[in-house]
Amino acid sequence: MDAQDRIATYRFLSIALQDPFLGASLPPLPQAEGPWIEARALWDGVDRETWSFLFRSTFGHTAAGAYPPYETHYGQPTVFEQTNVLADVAGFYRSFGLRVDSQRGEGADHVGPELEFAAYLLEKERLATDPAKAAISRDVLAAFVRDHLGKWGPAFGRLLARNAPAEEYRAVGHLLDSFLAEERVLLGLPAVDSDRLPQPVPPLPIECGTLPCGGDEGE
């Protein structure tokens, strides 16, 4: 798969997994084989009204449910660990002068912005005329996939493929999982160990024994 097809796949997945009312239009998927065939068959010609119905039936009440689309819901049970992950993701974005628009209503660790950032890096590498700058974009993409998107994205994709009520989003989950596996190979990263994929865990509350809580100070 060439760079343009990879970029197109990242962008399709990013937009399909975000709220249709954000205004973006679904781009076409490349003419690739495997799970791309199923996704194209289900998504080609889908209008915004249908897309909105599919999105809300899939994500309307599952932000912390069977397949949360946020990185910090995977393997980071404490508020402190979640804060560290969010800070690191935001740091990747800031290093390229980017941030998540607060009007979108999504955190930096949402799968949509993470996929969008990966597409951005790949496009920068593709268009770079300086080999050194192209290498920087590629190295950052490899690090971002290794430490973030490729670490939890396969788990999210598999859960979505198994549990989403709409077959369109089950196909998206399957495509995401398969695509990230191919990306790891292209970026020189080891394959994901299926037995060690992070699973969704609810955040644990901060214990009052650790920090002052309520009105007990000074008593």
Q: What are the tens digits of pLDDT across the range 70-117? A: 999 998 778 888 889 999 999 999 999 998 887 777 889 999 999 999
**Cα distances (Å, whole numbers) of residue 25 to 16, 21, 52, 159:** 9, 10, 12, 25
Q: Residue 204: what pLDDT?
A: 56
- CA 183 to the chain's CA centroid: 14
**Cα distances (Å, whole numbers) of residue 118 to 9, 122, 175, 191:** 11, 6, 16, 18
Q: Residue 102: what pLDDT?
A: 75
Average pLDDT, the chain: 89
Q: Residue 68: what pLDDT?
A: 93
Tokens read off for 151: 């670490």
For range 48-52, the mean pLDDT: 94
Query: Which pTM was predicted?
Result: 0.89
User: Does residue 110 contact residue 69 with C-beta atoms inside 8 Å?
Assistant: yes
